Structure 1
Amino acid sequence: MSLEVPRPIDPSLHPLVTGNYRLATPAIEALYELVTRCLRYRIPGALIYGPPRIGKTRAIEYVRLLLARQHPRMSSYHAQCEHKPRHAEGPFFANLLEAVGDHAPHAGTSAAKRSRLLLRIREAAARSGSGTVLLFCDESQRYNENEYEWLRDVHDALDRQQIKLFTFLVGQQELLAQKTALQVAGKTQIVARLMVEELAFYGIRNAEDVATCLNGYDQTAYPEGSHWSFTRFYIPQAFDAGYRLVADSGTLWQAFEAAHHKASLPGSLEIPMIRIVKDVSDKSPF
């Protein structure tokens, strides 16, 4: 493809080249609907589970960006739960302090870290003028019962200060087993705070899901507010003539199905979002 049609920006700066963009999948849309439902009905916690490398972390990033647009007065944080040989209180609160932007998350005793975490969240709520805070805990199947109890304590402490914390535990399928084990053990206070709702996260499972993603390339504009959709930026003449990527969703899905069968892979076909992004980006003419 030639560069005869002038573009509004240098092609090397386009989000498809830099990788700095997010597009919705049906599963991401379901996650956003879950979050908004929890906010609407004051449900304090939910768990979102799915296989590894399916796009859960990207989904958190997308939902937080959308929340910042739709609910600018709400604060949201993304904590990346770490694997720890010892489940100690200090590292747990240091991890959350890092997520909320504390300048020295590892400083102080466990009690000092806990107090500072509550202070940072209160400060963020005061700055935004809202008493609502969202916390996404990524890879939270790494938590044990004590860490869930500490997180519940944070909920209770903030609640006493008129701040509503909504927690979304995102991780692998073990999360569901952890919820069941807590229920069997009678730890209903943890489940009632952190694990009320459930959502099974998934990848691209059919041509309709592919169409949802490709429609994002056809509709998303960059620079924002311009008429230069991602598709038009790369194939402007075809786009102006009426072509849209979404028209090829069935063809793309059939190609993935053929590759899946040729490789004799077990189970039904399910594609992580990153794979769709890579396949489209690899066809870039720049």
Structure 2
Amino acid sequence: MSLDIPRPIDPSLHPLVTGNYRLATPAIEGFYELVMRCLRYRIMGALIYGPSRIGKTRAIEYVRLLLAREHPKITTYHAQCEHKPRHAEGPFFATLLEAVGDTAPNAGTTSSKRTRLSLRIREAAARAGSGTVILFCDEAQRLNDHEYEWLRDVHDALDRQQIKLFTFLVGQEELLAQKTALQVAHKTQIVARLMVEELAFAGIRNAEDIATCLNGYDQTAYPECTPWSFTRFYLPHAFDAGYRLTGDAATLWQAFEEAHHKASLPGPLDLPMESFARAVEIVLKDSELRDAPGYCPDSALWTHAVRHCGYVQSRHATGRVLATA
């Protein structure tokens, strides 16, 4: 690291080291816009679907952070839907109680869990000073018809207490098939409450998307309200001389494309945020000792970062690979 320029914080505390940061992709921005549209038009439920390991959970975290900053009176929760061999009311409400911060989510009868869930949400809404609550259900394709009915009951119970619950079902493509099956079965009350809007969620799909994300590193300051963007923190000399990560968008996209094709991965490149972020982190950390006016990472370093960011390895886990890199 360029030690001649003192940093505003200990480098070990930087979000790039701790991993405690989120960047918006165009798909995540679309997700946030969907949430705001549902709030504005009082659409109580929507589904967001896409392939596994594409960054949907990170998207929920980002949207919640943005809501907390832009709309601090809105209470938000993130429930992780579990794969269960037997769909029972007790475990279902225990999952929701855990999401809303109940200290003993498994305690009590099913009836007491229902009551406690409404109470916890009502208490949180009162503290926040708003009757608006948002629930993100992650891996929602694991829910069945009964659980959708129970979720609808929660909506109704809260509505009687003047609390509006907006539910966003986030999961894999099976979610869309579930909606169709519910419509065919004439269970329109579930669809009308929980599945009105739809959004296809994708990863990073082109160099323009890459540029949008890289711009986050160039623009986001830490600590906030200082001139220390993420890029400048690691490359102050190069940054002050005009270097920006955004300028390397085409190079990084090409490196990912080459890795994708070399590994004979199926389908077009649909890049998860996790793999992208790790590649950028590798480049910034490996570049800090080389920082100088006029420095910019060469294409070999970007290729090295892509090779070690876990993209091909993660796709090995989710799709058949015909040849390895």
Name the CA distance, whole Å, in 2 between partners of 1:96 and 1:29. 26
Structure 2 letter corresponding to 1:226: T
Structure 1, 212-221 or 119-128: larger mean CA deviation? 119-128
- Matched residue, 1:216: 216
- Matched residue, 1:137: 137
Q: In the TM superposition, what whole-angstrom CA distance separates every residue of 1:25-64 from its partner, at most 9, and x where no partner exists?
A: 0000000000000000000000000111100000000000
Structure 1 letter corresponding to 2:219: Q
Structure 2 letter corresponding to 1:87: H
- Matched residue, 1:82: 82
- Matched residue, 1:27: 27
Taking the TM superposition and a 5 Å limit, the aligned residue runs for 1:41-60 are 41-60=41-60
The question of 1:268 aligning with 2:243 is answered: no
Deviation at 1:230, TM superposition (A): 0.1
Name the CA distance, whole Å, in 1 between partners of 2:98 and 2:257. 42
Q: In the TM superposition, what whole-angstrom CA distance separates every residue of 1:91-147 from its partner, at most 9, and x where no partner exists?
A: 000000000011111000001000000011111111111110000000010000000
Deviation at 1:3, TM superposition (A): 2.4
Pairwise CA RMSD of aligned residues?
A: 0.9
Taking the TM superposition and a 5 Å limit, the aligned residue runs for 1:78-117 are 78-117=78-117
Name the CA distance, whole Å, in 1 between partners of 2:181 and 2:190. 11
Q: 3-state DSSP class of the match of 1:282?
A: helix
Name the CA distance, whole Å, in 1 between partners of 2:43 and 2:211. 32
Task: Give 5+ residue unaligned stretches, structure 1.
Answer: none
**What TM-score, normalized by structure 1, do the two folds share?**
0.98
Return structure 1 stretches of 4+ with deviation > 6 angstroms.
none
CA contact (8 A) 2:2 2:236 kept: no
- Matched residue, 2:293: none
Q: 3-state DSSP class of the match of 2:181?
A: helix
Taking the TM superposition and a 5 Å limit, the aligned residue runs for 1:133-282 are 133-282=133-282
- Matched residue, 2:317: none
CA contact (8 A) 2:218 2:232 kept: yes
Name the CA distance, whole Å, in 2 between partners of 1:3 and 1:47. 49
Name the CA distance, whole Å, in 1 between partners of 2:282 and 2:211. 18
**What TM-score, normalized by structure 2, do the two folds share?**
0.87
Q: In the TM superposition, what whole-angstrom CA distance separates every residue of 1:164-220 from its partner, at most 9, and x where no partner exists?
A: 000000001110000000000000000000000000100000000000100000011
Structure 1 letter corresponding to 2:267: G
Q: 3-state DSSP class of the match of 2:60?
A: helix
Structure 1, 120-129 or 61-70: larger mean CA deviation? 120-129
Q: In the TM superposition, what whole-angstrom CA distance separates every residue of 1:51-93 from its partner, at most 9, and x where no partner exists?
A: 1110000000000010011111110000011111110000000
Q: 3-state DSSP class of the match of 2:38?
A: helix
Name the CA distance, whole Å, in 1 between partners of 2:53 and 2:72. 30
Q: Which has the higher contact order (CA 8 A, sep 6+)?
A: 1
Number of residue pairs aligned between Structure 1 and Structure 2: 286
CA contact (8 A) 2:97 2:117 kept: yes
Name the CA distance, whole Å, in 2 between partners of 1:30 and 1:118. 30
